[in-house]
Structures are given as C-alpha cells and as structure tokens.
Chains A and B, each alone.
Chain A
Amino acid sequence: MPLAPRWSLSSGCALRGPGGGGDDRRYLMPLSFSPEELTAIKLSLRVGFWAMLGSLPVAVAVAMLLARGRFWGRSLLNAVVYLPLVMPPVVTGYILLILFGRHGVLGAALADYLGIVFAFRWTGAALAASVMGFPLMVRSMRLSIDAVDRRLEDAAATLGASRFWIWLTVTLPLILPGIIAGMILSFARALGEFGATITFVSNIPGETQTLPTAIYTFLQVPGGEAGAFRLTLVSVAISVTALFASEAIAQRAVRRAAGL
C-alpha cells in the first residue's frame, strides 16, 4: 500500500475548512478542477455505472432465487450474498485479490482465456464496488419480489402466459420500483467504496483512483485540502442527485404498480 494512514491529522486539516486558511477563494471555486480531480470524478462515475450495471442481472436472478426458490443450500447462498455487508471491506478486498489477482485462481484463468484483467485496473475497482453493493441491491429487490401478489401470476397463466412471459409482463413491472431502488443503492455504495477498492486495486491516479481514494490522497499531501474539499462537494452533489432521481423514479413506478 502506497499510503500511510494519518487520519487524525488530515481530518484536522479538513475541519479548518473555509475561512480557516490563508486563501479563502480556493474553497469558493469548486468548479475549477485540476486534471487529476477531473480524472477521479470521471473514473468514479464510470466505476459506479459499470458496478451497478454489471451486478444488475446477477442480483435480479439471485433475488428471485432467494425469494421464490426452495432448494438445498438456499440459506448458504443467502449468507454468501450478505457477507460483504458484515465483513470488513479490507477483508473483502483481500479475498478479491486472492481470487481475481494476476495470480489468483479466477484472475489467471480470466486473463489467459478471455483477456479480462481486474488487478490494478478500473475494472477491478468496478468489481470491488459491485461486490460491496451487491447485498444492498439484492435486499431491495427481494423485498419487492416478496410483495408481489402471486395470484396475479396465476391469473396471467390462465390467460395463456408461460412462466417466462408471466415474469416479463407481470412480475418484472411490479418489482420495478425495487429494482430501481436497488440500482441506486448499489451506485451510491460504489461511489463511496474505499476499503475493498484500495486493498484490491490500490490507488493509481487515472486507473483506480476514485473519489474517496482521491480525497484521501489529497489529505495526505500538504496544501491538498482545497482539492479534497472540491471533490467532497462533487461527491455530495452526485449522491444527492442520485437519491432524488431514485426517489422520483421509484415514486412513479410505485404509482404505476398501484394502478394510479
């Protein structure tokens, strides 16, 4: 790891905030980003987007299995899915490193046969973020699947719809609010992911340095508070926007599902 943890000192610097330093205008110009900051912002959005999108189909399938399936090993699957929520992120990151690192069991195979490399790439950051957000996504979807009135599915069957069509035309539209909420949660979690990312793919500017790791880095260097503060504002803005968007979309979906 390239960075030594110096939390107390750096957060002390940050707390001085606007008005505390000599040059106040640095804090008042949040839109004049350095190239390094811009790269971190773009990378964060990219990582968050792909983490969300990549885990979406898997999460829907797992949520359906956990909500509806009756099979041996269901509780084991349940535990595995929720594990990243309770384990220290660093441990999750380390497990990812063992599995998907260059010499990892899966990482070597993926690199040799498919040319997909996770180690120290932005794809690895996306993988780490998606694993960390996965339990939140599954949980949100599962709740909405449990809330579906299954008698509507029976009704669809008597109207000639096969199981596949029932799922596509009845179940999916009814659980859409849960899916959207899950996607937003996963995206938000991806933007905030720190521990697993830094353990798995380190903190390489332009490749794996996302908003949280960039903020952390800025706080490690003298005079970096301004950059950290700007990125913090961006981080807050993205999170707030995501929350509002999800709320609006979910509200519409709920109203639609209620037939209003």
Chain B
Amino acid sequence: MLSVEVTHRLGTFTLDAAFESEGGLVALFGRSGAGKTSLINAIAGIYRPDRAHIAIDGTVLTDTATGIFVPAYRRRVGYVFQEGRLFPHLNVRQNLLYGRWFAPKAAGGTDFDQVIALLAIEHLLSRRSANLSGGEKQRVAIGRALLARPRLLVMDEPLAALDESRRGEILPYIERLRDELRVPIVYVSHSVAEVARLATTLVVLSEGKVAAIGPTAEVMGRLDLFPLTGRAEAGAILATRVAAHDTRFGLTILAAASGELRIPYLDLPIGTALRVRIRARDVMIALTQPEGLSALNVLPGTVAEIAGGDGPIVQMRLDCAGEALIARLTRRSVETLGLRPGLKVYAVIKSVAFDRHAFAGARQGAASADAEVAEG
C-alpha cells in the first residue's frame, strides 16, 4: 500500500498531487513538465518537498507535519532512471551487486540468479557498462534496482531513451516484474502505448495536478482527458479472452463483453486473458449492422458522450456492454448521422492493438513487442 501526497513549489510551477495504490503498476502519465518526475523524486527522497506525506505499507518516509524525512539511502525505493546511470567504473556484475551490499540481509526479496534469469543478462555480467547497448543498460539498471531489495520500484521513463525496437525488448521484462515478482511499481511515462500495456492504475497529471485517477481502462475511456493524453493516440482498452481459434482461416477469436473480435492467429491457449487497445481513429460508426463490408470486427453499443466543441473533429464515447470504446470522427458525420447520446450504433473496428501482458512471462520469444493487427 503506497500513499503519496506532495505539495511543492518550484519557481512558477506548483506540484500539488496525491494518489494511493494497492500494488501493481501505477503509471504517472502526462506531458513533459506535468510534474511526473518531481513526484517520484519526492517518493525516492531525492529532495525535500514543501509539504508532503509519503508512506509505504504503513512506514512513513516523509511527513513534513511531524518533521519526518527518511534520507534517500534508507528508503529502499529502487529507482530506474531514464538514462540508466550505471556506474562507469564498475562492470555489470559489480553494478548489479552494488545495492545488495547496503540492503538489510533480512529483507528477503529476489535472489541474484532469479533476477539474472528474469532479465536475461547472464551473458553481460563481466562486461563494462560502456560496452552495453541502450536496451541492455536499462535491463541491468532494472536488475540493479531490484537487487537492492526495494519496497517499491520507481521508474522514470525507462524506455524514453531507446528506439522503438529496444522498447519492445524491455516491455516484457517490466511486465514480469509486475506479474511474477509482484514488485509494486510507480512508472512515469508520456507514451499511451506503454501505459495502456503496463498500468494497473493510471494517474493523469497535468500542470502539477492530478487530472484523473483510476483503473487504466476506465481512465483511458474518458473523453475529457484527450487534450492531456494526446489526441492521435487516444483509444480505449477492452478486456478480452481467447475464445476460439479458426484454423481454416488462421484467425483467433477474442471475446469481449459486447461481442467478438477476430484477429490473425495467436498461439495462445483458449481462455487466456488479453488486453486490447483500440485507437479512436481506427473506429468507424454505422447506424445499422453493416453488410458487405470487409472489416471483421463490429461491436454494438450505445452513444454515451460526444465531446469536441466546435472543431472539425469530435471524440465520441460508446458504451459497449459496460466497457468504453472511443471513436474519433468529423463533426459533419455526427450531424449527418444524427448521432446523439442514447442512440444505438455499431462500431466498426479497423485495427486492433493487443497487449500480451498476461502471458509475457510464459513465452518470452513471442512477446517481443506491442503487437498490432490491421485488417479490412
């Protein structure tokens, strides 16, 4: 259980944010300058906030009201920095073991071999840190933080310095920390794709304040947050599971609450939970059940909310059997079709992006990247 409440002034910027988490991965999401890094630096004890109350599992780390400030080195908050920050004068093994030296022996936690295996870094152990690739550096940095037996792991955009393919290389490892080691994580990011894939709880920060907080799918389905999250990447998350495989056409059928989605074959056992992200720009709206259409995926739903003001583009939230789906369309279409809250419509989905977090640990090779399937 993590509880964070921080107020801190830095010039004209004021950070005034609070959130709580029951474990899993909390994503702090927002644009640059929203106060994400300041918030985790307060948690890690890197600076003293003006006013704050920060506690992990009942242990108070910062409480300005009573003058408690546990120094960073006694907090046992592991920190994975954006640029790795491996010690250049030590090799990989020495970097990994650095924190273990100082960690209380009774703290338990993961052992060396387990971490090495989980992050697949055994072949790097005797290397110098300067000879590692960006992705390897970040994996070592994660291992180093883990081996210090942290109560909590904070990660500051650990993938931002990497290119697209390297990101795909690291994501499964972060999922394994969350699902296999069950380390509580606070993860800072400005990437919708990362957050959609990783976060259990989503905290949206804007100008130092919490704009929204809640389970990831719920927060992602809110229309009023798009100016903050970025319109192009706006999208909703549906919880699905593998219902059947269509071997004749090489398709896998996913069951969502409101219907079925067909995607190219996935080598997964039936019943596997799968989180899919459907971007607003990939959703079309039809008033009647469409026929003579190549797209395979059509979900029925009800218009719940239309937002966007007077601009040419509006965002629309559909209620699909209790789950939110977001569509992005022109204001002209809204008028032509006469779309209004309460109307029954059909969402035609052009492309499905799915997240393999539920089984990333089991099959490392397959889960190399955020997969996306386009059809039509």
Contacts and interface: CB of A to CB of B under 8 A. Distances in A.
A257 B88 CA distance: 6
B89 A173 contact: yes
Contacts, number: 78
B249 to A, nearest CB: 52
Interface in A157-214: 157-163, 165-166, 169-170, 173-174
Contacts of B101: 160-161
B85 A160 contact: no
Interface residues of B, number: 31
Given A258-B130, A260-B130, A162 B46 contact: no
B72 A154 contact: yes
A163 B87 CA distance: 16
Contact of B98 (A163, A169, A260): A169
A223 B58 CA distance: 87
Contacts of A158: 44, 46, 72-73, 75, 77-79, 145, 148
A259 B129 contact: yes
B76 A160 contact: yes
B32 to A, nearest CB: 18
Main secondary structure, interface of A, reads: helix
B88 A161 contact: no
A258 to B, nearest CB: 6
Nearest to A169: B98
Interface string B117-153: 0000000000011110000000000001100100000
A6 interface: no
Size range of the chain A interface in the assembly: 20 to 34
Contact of A159 (B45, B71, B88, B144): B144
Contact of B89 (A159, A163, A257): A257
Contacts of A161: 73, 98, 101-102
B81 A155 contact: yes
Contact of B145 (A151, A159, A165, A173): A159
Interface of A: 151-152, 154-163, 165-166, 169-170, 173-174, 256-260
Q: Across chains A and B, which 5 residue pairs bring their CB atoms closest together, nearest first?
A: A160-B102, A259-B130, A159-B99, A259-B88, A158-B79
22 contacts: A151-B83, A152-B85, A152-B87, A154-B72, A157-B46, A157-B71, A157-B72, A158-B46, A158-B77, A158-B145, A159-B148, A160-B103, A160-B148, A161-B101, A161-B102, A162-B71, A174-B88, A256-B89, A257-B88, A259-B86, A259-B88, A260-B131
